[in-house]
Amino acid sequence: MFELNGFGREAKKSGQAICLSVDSKGRRLGIGSVVARVDALLRSKNEGQALVEMAITLPLLLILLMCIYTFGVAYSNKVTLTNAVGQASITLQSSRGSTADPCATAWNALTAAAPGLNSAQINMSISFNGGTPVAGSTCTGSLATFAGTVGQTNTISATYPCNLLLYGRSIANCTISAATAAYQF
């Protein structure tokens, strides 16, 4: 005579379900069975525990997942910048003597290799023969130094700002940097 409800307990006979609303002809509208299940869930001793545990752990889990995502984006930017600096170094070495502005050549290679980064926020500097670094995307005054770099080391470095955001709030400001040195042969 009794049947099990969705919670594994005996329910009233299906004809005796609690009903909150009735249509104009006196027929029950089925809302009562849902309300009865919720009422049974709230009145039981053990099912509420899972709801409380979920309410405590779900926000912590979401914060942890967002932290992983945020640091993943920062790490991806670091890898992109490192690869772009390497590509700029290769381009700089292969264009020795065939370019009017080696810094512009390296800058174009760097920005082309890092399409996901905002090129306006990348700071690049090049040091020829271990000398004073030349910052920016042009270095026409350093052509004599650049042309005579056989047997010397050229260094390209770049920085990129990163702002670690968690749900719209800044948790840390940092600077990503990458550098590479290439020996002229």
What's the pLDDT score for residue 1?
Answer: 46
Q: How far apart are CA 121 and CA 66, in angstroms?
A: 24
Long-range contacts of 140-148 (CB under 8 A, 24+ apart): 140/100, 140/101, 142/102, 142/103, 143/100, 143/101, 143/102, 146/96, 146/102, 147/96, 147/97
Please report the pLDDT score of residue 77 as a whole number. 93
- pLDDT at position 21, please? 53
User: Would you call 77 helix, strand, or coil by DSSP?
Assistant: helix
Q: What is the pLDDT of residue 102?
A: 80
Task: Supply the pLDDT for residue 168.
Answer: 81
- The pLDDT of residue 19 is 46
Mean pLDDT by 10 residues, the chain (185 residues): 50 49 56 65 68 88 91 93 93 78 87 92 84 71 56 85 84 89 73
**What pLDDT does 76 receive?**
94
